Structure 1
Amino acid sequence: MSKKNENVNADGTWSASVSDAQQPKVPIFIGIATGLGALLWLAPFMGLNSVLNPAKLANIFGGPGSQVNNFLALLGTLGAVTSTITTIIIGALSDRTRSRWGRRTPWIVCGSVLTAAVMVGLGMINDKSQLPIFIVLWCLIQTFINMIVAPLIAVMADRVAPQHRGTISSIYAIGYVIGQYGGPVIGGRFLSSANPGLVNTGYYVLAILMLVSGPIAAIIMHEKSSLGMEKEKLDLSGFVQAFIFPLHHVRNFYLALFGKMMINIAVTAFGVYQVFILTSGMGLGSTPAGKYVSWMGTATMVTAIIFSSTSGAVSDKMGTRKWPVAFAALLTAIGTILPFIFRDPSSMIWYGIIAGTGSGIFFSVDQALNLEVLPDPETAAKDLGILNFANTGAQILAPVLGAIIFDMVGHQYLPILPVLSIIALVGAVLVLMIKETKKA
Structure 2
Amino acid sequence: MTHSLPADAPATTAAADRAGANTAEPVTASRLRLLYLTLPVANVALYLLWFGVGSFLLPLQVARITGTNDTAALSTASTIGAVLATVGNPVFGQLSDRTRSRLGRRAPWILLCAFLGALALAAQAHAASIAMLGLSWGVVQFIMNGYQAALTATLPDRVPPAKYGTFSALVGLGIPLGTMAAALAIGGVPGGRFGLDGVIGGFGGRFAGENGYYLIALAIIAAAVVFVIVSPDRDARDLPHERFSFRTFLANFWVSPQKHPDFGWAFLSRLGVMLGYFIVLTYNMFLLAEHIKIPAQDLLPTVGFLMIVNALCTVIASVLAGPIADRVGRVKPFVLTSGIAAALALTLPMLWPTESGMLAYNIAGGLAFGVYMAVDMALITKVLPRGKDAGKDLGVINIANAGPQILAPSIAGWIVAAGGYEALFPIAALFSLVGALGVLRVRGVR
* Interval containing the TM-score (normalised by the shorter chain): 0.7 to 0.9
Q: Which whole-Å CA distance do the structure 2 matches of 1:94 and 1:347 have between them?
A: 45
In the other structure, the counterpart of 2:93 is 91
Q: Deviations over 1:167-191 (max 9, x none)?
A: 2222222234311453244332499
Out of 269-278 and 237-246, give the one that drifted further.
237-246
In the other structure, the counterpart of 1:414 is 422
In the other structure, the counterpart of 2:307 is 297
Is 1:200 equivalent to 2:206 in the alignment? Answer: no
In the other structure, the counterpart of 1:5 is none
What is the CA distance between 1:36 and its match in structure 2? Answer: 0.7
Given that 2:292 and 2:354 are in contact with CA atoms closer than 8 Å, whether structure 1 keeps it comes out as: yes
In the other structure, the counterpart of 2:56 is 51
Which of the residues 345, 358, 362 maps onto 1:348?
358
Q: Which whole-Å CA distance do the structure 1 matches of 2:36 and 2:395 have between them?
A: 20
Given that 1:325 and 1:365 are in contact with CA atoms closer than 8 Å, whether structure 2 keeps it comes out as: yes
The TM-score, its normalising length taken from structure 1, stands at 0.86
Partner-residue secondary structure (3-state), 1:98: coil
Runs of 5+ unmatched residues, structure 1: 1-13
Q: Which whole-Å CA distance do the structure 2 matches of 1:184 and 1:210 have between them?
A: 17
Moved over 6 A (4+): 194-197
Q: Which whole-Å CA distance do the structure 2 matches of 1:197 and 1:107 have between them?
A: 28
In the other structure, the counterpart of 1:141 is 140
In the other structure, the counterpart of 1:313 is 323
Partner-residue secondary structure (3-state), 2:422: coil
Given that 2:97 and 2:388 are in contact with CA atoms closer than 8 Å, whether structure 1 keeps it comes out as: no
Amino acid in the other structure paired with 1:70:
A
- What fraction of aligned residue pairs are identical, expressed as a percent? 26
Q: Which whole-Å CA distance do the structure 2 matches of 1:277 and 1:243 have between them?
A: 37
What is the CA distance between 1:32 and its match in structure 2? Answer: 1.6
Alignment of 1:189-268 (within 5 A): 189=188, 198-236=208-246, 238-268=248-278
Is 1:425 equivalent to 2:433 in the alignment? Answer: yes
Given that 2:179 and 2:308 are in contact with CA atoms closer than 8 Å, whether structure 1 keeps it comes out as: no
In the other structure, the counterpart of 1:60 is 65
Q: Which whole-Å CA distance do the structure 2 matches of 1:207 and 1:174 have between them?
A: 20
Q: Deviations over 1:164-221 (max 9, x none)?
A: 22222222222343114532443324999x9899433322222221221211111221
1:250/1:72 Cα in 2 relative to 1: closer, same or farther (>3 Å)?
Answer: farther
1:184/1:271 Cα in 2 relative to 1: closer, same or farther (>3 Å)?
Answer: farther
In the other structure, the counterpart of 2:178 is 179
Amino acid in the other structure paired with 1:161:
P
Which of the residues 319, 326, 330 maps onto 2:340?
330
In the other structure, the counterpart of 1:269 is 279
Given that 2:78 and 2:137 are in contact with CA atoms closer than 8 Å, whether structure 1 keeps it comes out as: no
Q: How many residues align?
A: 415
Amino acid in the other structure paired with 2:255:
F
Amino acid in the other structure paired with 1:62:
G
Amino acid in the other structure paired with 1:383:
D
Q: Deviations over 1:215-244 (max 9, x none)?
A: 111122122322222322221453245322
The TM-score, its normalising length taken from structure 2, stands at 0.85
Is 1:72 equivalent to 2:74 in the alignment? Answer: yes
In the other structure, the counterpart of 2:8 is none
Q: Deviations over 1:139-164 (max 9, x none)?
A: 21012212321111111211112122
What is the CA distance between 1:398 and its match in structure 2? Answer: 2.4
What is the CA distance between 1:15 and its match in structure 2? Answer: 6.6
Q: Which whole-Å CA distance do the structure 2 matches of 1:228 and 1:27 have between them?
A: 22
Q: Which whole-Å CA distance do the structure 2 matches of 1:25 and 1:198 have between them?
A: 40
Q: Which whole-Å CA distance do the structure 1 matches of 2:396 and 2:29 have between them?
A: 31
Which of the residues 103, 116, 119 maps onto 1:117?
119
What is the CA distance between 1:425 and its match in structure 2? Answer: 1.4
Runs of 5+ unmatched residues, structure 2: 1-19, 190-200
Partner-residue secondary structure (3-state), 2:347: helix
In the other structure, the counterpart of 1:164 is 163
The structure showing larger relative contact order (alpha-carbon pairs under 8 Å, at least 6 residues apart) is 2
Amino acid in the other structure paired with 1:187:
I
Given that 1:41 and 1:179 are in contact with CA atoms closer than 8 Å, whether structure 2 keeps it comes out as: yes
What is the CA distance between 1:85 and its match in structure 2? Answer: 1.7
Given that 2:71 and 2:286 are in contact with CA atoms closer than 8 Å, whether structure 1 keeps it comes out as: no
Partner-residue secondary structure (3-state), 1:415: helix
